[in-house]
Amino acid sequence: MKLRALLCTPFLLTVPLAAGDYDALARTLRQAWPQCATVALVCDTAGSKGAIDAITGAMTGMKVIVVDVKGPQDIGKAVATLTGRRPDAVVLVAGDKVAGDGSGAAAFLIQRLGAAKIPTVATTEQAVKQGAVFAVGPGTAGKVLGNAKAAGAAGVSLPAGASPI
């Protein structure tokens, strides 16, 4: 019985850490764009279940749309779905095997959504370099990083105090 408790303890301790990864992003999103009521995630739902739960928990009061992609071949369909549904923002799921920060699929997604005036936000500097409007979280050491060109293309403002990239 004690062994089971010891084996479960590390897992239980990691849940708050994962959940906290998106809290700063949600807070910044609400402050920068108070009209934001719907966010979307594009990810492999089976592989990103923990992140989906963390983002959903952080985005309380907002509608969260999840678009499941199994590979890069699904990104075009995801863009079509999102341009039809018109979320207020798309949150990149850091570490997702299909559309995670730094992937070619994420770059394609960011570019197409920006052209459709749907801003993308994230938790890593890499995402901002790819064209996300802003990022804040563990991948930015807690600083808000912004991409003014992406904000202009998407028709939104950068969060106050964002450091330009």
In a domain, 104, yes or no: yes
Number of domains in the chain: 1
In a domain, 50, yes or no: yes
In a domain, 37, yes or no: yes
In a domain, 4, yes or no: no
In a domain, 72, yes or no: yes
Among positive and negative, which fits the CA dihedral 73, 121, 133, 116?
positive
Q: Which pLDDT belongs to residue 20?
A: 79
CA–CA distance, 156 with 83 (Å, rounded to integer) = 16
CATH number at residue 74: 3.40.50.2300
User: Which range of residues forms the domain containing residue 90?
Assistant: 19-164
CA–CA distance, 45 with 138 (Å, rounded to integer) = 22
Mean pLDDT split into 10-residue runs, the chain, 165 residues: 40 44 95 97 97 96 97 97 98 95 94 96 96 95 96 95 95
Instruction: Count Cβ neighbours within 10 Å for each residue of 98-126 and write b for 16 or more, e otherwise.
Output: bbbbebebbbbbbbbbbebebbbbbbbbb
Q: Which pLDDT belongs to residue 72?
A: 95
In a domain, 46, yes or no: yes
In a domain, 11, yes or no: no
CB 135 within 8 A of CB 121: yes
Q: Which pLDDT belongs to residue 19?
A: 52
Q: pTM of the entire structure?
A: 0.86
* Residue found by looking up tokens 């979280």 in the block: 137
Q: Which pLDDT belongs to residue 5?
A: 39
Q: What is the dihedral of CA 40, 135, 107, 129, to 10 degrees?
A: 170
In a domain, 62, yes or no: yes
